[in-house]
Structure 1
Amino acid sequence: MTANMSRNHHWVPQCYLKGFTKGRSKKSTLYVTDFEVGRQFSSVPRNVAAGRDFNRVDIDGIPPDYVESGIAVFEGKLDKALERICREREIKGSEDLNLVLNLIALLAVRNPGMRENVRHSHEQVMKRVMDLTLATKERYESSFAKAARAGALNAEDILPYERMREFIDRGEYTISVSTTHHVGQELKLVDAILPLLGQRNWLLTRALPATGGFVTSDHPVILQWADRPMTGGLGGPGFALRGTEVLFTVAHDLALIGTFEGPDGVVHADEKQVALMNGVILGNWQRQVYARDDRFRYRMQDGEIRRGADALRHLGTWSR
């Protein structure tokens, strides 16, 4: 790995986060509410929603930062598009909209919480497989002997059935999934989601002055049923399903709502509408919520409009 290779990889791009700062720059600060550690503080975009080697791939013949470098090129174009959108408070061209939709697709599938869900799913499957393999000594020995003949492992490395049974029964292990696998699956999901986003009608929502503006989070793409009472018993919404909406805050004063049936165009949101959108976002973070300052408004199910400074006290801390 070369000395100048970036190791701090953002799953929420800095060029997007700076749209929620006062100066719209990487050096301007965000107001961060961290529900995991129970703190509210100011931070520059570089220091949030990032992890070491989050996009690193380990594939023969391909540089480890291949994906991160490609994302950086995309973010360079996206940064200019977001600057135009924020300045003009509208999305004028199809190219700028396409860049924003690519961002939404990426953000919908790439974050540590999603990766942990994938890892946990793999772990449950593997544990079930091991339980079946260890159902009898004969099945165990036959399965691993077959794997050794196929070259998947060395015969001398196979543990005796009794030791393996004891190890599995203790449950003192976890199944890991490589970052390379995560990245590959995420890029496939982006390819699947992006055309579905392009089929939606997008309503650009402008926050009126004195509303406190929109917030975002480390899990900023909201996919929900457009008719919220439908949620009880229909299962989770999907990007291809009609009757759903995608909510995405583009910047401090702009948000997008994408539906198959609804209108496109531009509307304005008053304090109650902005607070309602922010309340949805505050119900979908992985760990942190980002805003311009502590004066943003949000509204939860009780209908009361509250200020951002009260969010931690009102909603409490959260731990995995």
Structure 2
Amino acid sequence: MFALLQENAQLASLIATMVAVLLVLSLIEVLAIRYGERVLRRIWHYMEVARFHLLRQPLIQHLVERHPALSGFLAARFQREHFFGLTLTMFVVMGGYVLALYAGLVEDVVEAEAIVAFDHYVSAHMSVLRSSPIISSVIVITSLGAAAVTCLIIALTSIVCAVLRKPYIIVGLLISTIGSTLFSFLSKMLFARERPTEILLTEQTYSFPSGHATISIALYGFIAYIAIRLTSNFAWQVRLFSLAVMICVLVGLSRIVLNEHYLSDVLGGFLAGSLWLIVAISVTEWLTSAGKIHWQHTWRTFDRVLVAACLIIAAIASTLYAYFHYMPMLGSA
């Protein structure tokens, strides 16, 4: 193994990158579990203190007196008691920020900025890994973002939501997955960016943004959101979030390793998926505030067995899809 790494600098760099990413995620997870709740409580406390002192400033009081309608509207946007207050404000700010990042990335790609040169640099190094022994494992990972596998996982998730008697969650799931898929498809058609020349698996669609990266954020991110909402234990919430991030990162990295996409394609996919994930979570939280979804759930043995069975089915399906769909492509490449 060490001899192989010495002979292949690209493989060594890839493994080092993966190890570094996993270590960073693990460190963040440990710190979040240990200090996360305390930090969040302090943030909320300092925000309330800042709000209290801000409202007592003479200039603010003067503006409130002169513009009561405007000040009332702004004050309502920061109320924590209802969805259309601070919750919606935070979602709008996050969505706007992600959309701005996506627009900036698109501008860089279209205008052939430095990121495009870096794309080709990374792609040239990844092409050396065509005969690497890790390719088969990478193909199994990339199958988690394949259309057939994600459709199966969406169906399994919908079944679980129906059995748990929380059917309105499916609305957010469909918004996240269908919306992100359509957005990715239209973006591909609009920008018509060609895929890397050293592509390892045959694909018929354009390159930007990566559909696999998009759906990984939209689907696995929303599933993680469901699991987090159904869990009251903060440590488990952090672990579930960390697991979802890890899956998405690995799927995106697999597209680069297989030379299916450039680095900026994957980044664009992550941003597009995040945008629709925010929209879907916003709608789900609105349905929750309207009383359509109740997250408190008493887990029965049947519920746990069903979730475990769905996870096993998804794992088997992604592995079979990799070996019976992607592997023949690899043999003919």
**TM-score normalised by structure 2 residue count:** 0.23
**TM-score normalised by structure 1 residue count:** 0.23
Q: Which has the higher strand share?
A: 1
Q: Which has the higher helix share?
A: 2
